[in-house]
Homo-oligomer: A and B are copies of this chain.
Amino acid sequence: MAQTSTNPVIKSNLADFKVGVDNVIFSVDTQANRLLVLLVKRKDNPFLGSWSLPGTLVRIGESLEDAAYRILAERIRVNNLYLEQLYTFGTLGRDPRESHNSFGVRYLSVSYFALVRLEEAELITHDISTTAWHPVKKVPQLAFDHNQILEYGYQRLRNKLEYSPIAFEVLPEVFTLNDIYQLYSTILGENFADYSNFRARLLKMGILADTGAKVSRGAGRPASLYRFDAEAFAPLKDKPLVFI
């Protein structure tokens, strides 16, 4: 960072900021093949009554990450949740409080991203009029620039699905090859890849262990159940890989 000037005129040119954190928490309803995002209803101005990403302003003595985990803990109980920093949004006027504040304070948003397993993510409140999973395809107009932040998070999620084994964090412990394909289709869109190519590529990577068990669903032949083989994946972890 930056020259500190001893010239008070230049010093007073510096903008003052409050810093918010906003969390883009995705989950997947694997039954209904829907990608979900956690939204909360605002209880204060500005944007009173609007849906928004769960967020907060950073307090004195609090790190960015602390603030991100704090607001999450107020909304959701989940094991081993790992938040990843997404992007910092600082466009002028992104918060309506900026223009009305005579001190000229700006509001920055540092956004964080996570993908959680729906069954393991328990909402603190069961009042779905204030905290709820929304299908990403049907998200309403959100407060502030949160639709833009969500779009950015969605792009990050797609990239991670293409380049990392993040899908196995939301799949059940054992799954069929078709389950994985459905999950990818839910997030990346139908026809993101040919099924037999996708299946062949995944098997060739050697990161799926056949459990020996099979499952019958509908009229087709029983399908093999696999689990993610973390041990086989370990030596590949730092290698560039493509999963689709």
The answer to whether the Cβ of A6 comes within 8 Å of any Cβ in the partner chain is yes
Q: How far is the CA of A110 from the CA of B240 in the complex (A)?
A: 27
Number of contacting residues on A, CB 8 A?
55
Complex interface: chain B residues within 8 A of A106 (CB): 19
Q: Are B17 and A108 in contact (CB under 8 A)?
A: yes
The answer to whether the Cβ of A73 comes within 8 Å of any Cβ in the partner chain is no
What 7 pairs between A and B have smallest CB-CB spacing? A1-B20, A162-B240, A64-B90, A17-B17, A240-B242, A2-B57, A88-B88
Instruction: Supply 10 further A-B pairs (C-beta < 8 A) apart from A1-B109, A19-B106, A108-B108.
Output: A1-B20, A1-B21, A3-B44, A4-B44, A15-B62, A62-B92, A64-B88, A240-B242, A241-B242, A242-B242
Can you give 26 contacting A-B residue pairs, CB < 8 Å?
A1-B20, A1-B21, A1-B22, A1-B95, A3-B42, A3-B43, A3-B56, A4-B46, A14-B58, A15-B19, A15-B58, A15-B60, A15-B61, A15-B62, A16-B16, A17-B17, A17-B108, A19-B19, A19-B106, A63-B90, A63-B91, A64-B90, A85-B87, A88-B110, A240-B242, A240-B243
